[in-house]
Structure 1
């Protein structure tokens, strides 16, 4: 997986994580097209343990891919029904208010 933390004074930190094979690809479904770029998801590889540790304390997260979304579901951070499928790729956005 790839992990990047965006620091924003207005929104707080946003954790972005994508499955390794999705980085620098474009996926689409109907009229929606999403580019999974290094600019947003970073280019720093992260282990499952590192991702879990960051997600445990994340106020906001943007997750792309089966492995990371399944991990978030397992951790109780989101549900499968709350995810959006873009083609065959699950996408989750998590916000703590």
Structure 2
């Protein structure tokens, strides 16, 4: 079966990273509608395309930890904090993306 018009689905780890990265942006910029929409897009992809359940993320000084259930089993992925936060830093340093959302 060919999905997505012949395109291969995004790898699970890549989708988790993309969801996490844009979720960090949305958490920092809760009025940013684009960040919200993109977070929801990746969340839906994780659920619909990969069957992920119970998705959550935590962070410490070094990394973000994403915990999720897949096929009834708990899984964990770890991502370097600096790498995850790169998108937020890029957005914050670009004046055209720093408009007021209120």
TM normalised by structure 1 equals: 0.29
Quick check: which one's helix share is greater? 2
Structure with greater Cα Rg: 2
TM normalised by structure 2 equals: 0.28
Report 1 or 2 for greater relative contact order, CA contacts < 8 Å, sequence distance ≥ 6: 1
